[in-house]
Amino acid sequence: MAKSPPSVPALPIYAVRKTKVVIDSDLAALFGVQTRVFNQAIRRNRDRFPPDFIFELTPAETAALMSQIVISNEKSKSGASGGRGGRRKPPLVFTEHGAITAATLLRSKRAVAMSV
């Protein structure tokens, strides 16, 4: 008897450069890994992603996206700048094909189940 595919929660989809994309932190959460670990795996295997599967947001695109969603800023909880937390690099965004390719790179149980 075949197993049913795992249920996939709806991911927020954004329009960037006239393309529907998913942000790296949302995919990392979906696959059950930290964003840092997810991006590290992507950067190590960047040659598997054609330019139309994945791209990095420009500072202007990042600012526009921050106004739509909550991306932590670089201020600490006390309000002092330079504290821990926040993004240090612009987010990576993935098209549908890029998200599928990313799932094949990860070893988490959830990513493996979704890529089958």
Taking only the tens place, the pLDDT of each residue in 55-75 is 999 999 988 888 776 655 544
CA distance 95 to 112: 19
Could you give the angle at the alpha carbon of 26 between the alpha carbons of 91 and 62, nearest 5°? Answer: 25
> What 8-state DSSP symbol labels residue 81?
B
Encode pLDDT of 7-54 as tens digits: 656 888 999 999 999 999 999 999 889 999 999 999 999 999 999 999
| H helices present in the chain, as ranges | 24-31, 35-44, 59-68, 96-105, 109-115
Q: What is the pLDDT of residue 79?
A: 46
Q: What is the pLDDT of residue 76?
A: 41
Q: Are 24 and 102 a contacting pair, CB within 8 Å?
A: no
Q: What is the C-alpha R_g of the chain?
A: 15
Q: Which two tokens stand for residue 46?
A: 């960047």
pTM of the model: 0.74
CA distance 78 to 14: 31
Encode pLDDT of 80-101 as tens digits: 445 556 677 889 999 999 998 9
